[in-house]
Amino acid sequence: MDMSGSQRIEASRETVYAALNDVEVLKQCIPGCESVEKTSDTEMTAKVTLKIGPVKASFTGKVTLSDLDPPNGYTISGEGSGGAAGFAKGGAKVSLEADGTATILTYTVDAQIGGKLAQLGGRLIDATAKKLAGDFFEKFSAVVAPPPEGEEPQKKKGLLGKLIG
């Protein structure tokens, strides 16, 4: 599975790069994350529980950072085992580009899965991966660049909100 995208974050490249290396920020932003521990300057271990279609699995794995080029980006790679549910492994090239006072984060992901998860079908896996990536970057943006004091975060209005708002 290959996936790519970008996200505008209202913070400097240095701030975004530091947050991408901060285990507390990552723990808050990774969907289903139970723990992230830094084992060295370039390695972390993580435990994540996800529901993908009818399969709920807890993955434990190792994440390695390489091609470090602060504050421009890096390559992140990892592999995790979900027991009977299967395994996932892959990597992402992350690049950061200044855009005025903000940063454009661009990513390209290459991932492989096996076991029960692989039997669910490509469409479900791709849709779930895109949703998880979207959830991560939405939360990451909110954590790294919270709205200015006194301002409420933008909330998506449902039908009722549109009718009374």
CATH value of 2-164 in 3.30.530.20, 3.40.50.620, 2.120.10.80, 3.40.50.1950: 3.30.530.20
pLDDT at site 158: 43
Count Cβ atoms below 10 Å from residue 109 Cβ, excluding itself: 18
pLDDT at site 149: 65
pLDDT at site 146: 78
Count Cβ atoms below 10 Å from residue 86 Cβ, excluding itself: 20
| Residue ranges of domains in the chain | 2-164
Summarised one tens digit per residue, pLDDT across range 78-110 is: 899 988 888 888 889 999 999 999 999 999 988
Task: Give helix then strand counts, H and E, for the chain.
Answer: 4, 7
pLDDT at site 154: 46
Distance, in Å, from the CA atom of 6 to the CA atom of 93, rounded to the nearest integer, reads: 12
Average pLDDT by stretches of 10, the chain with 165 residues: 91 96 93 94 93 86 94 93 87 95 94 84 82 89 80 44 42
Distance, in Å, from the CA atom of 78 to the CA atom of 39, rounded to the nearest integer, reads: 14
Count Cβ atoms below 10 Å from residue 126 Cβ, excluding itself: 13
In angstroms, how far is the first alpha carbon of the chain from the final one?
A: 41
pLDDT at site 69: 96
**0.75 exceeded by pTM:** yes
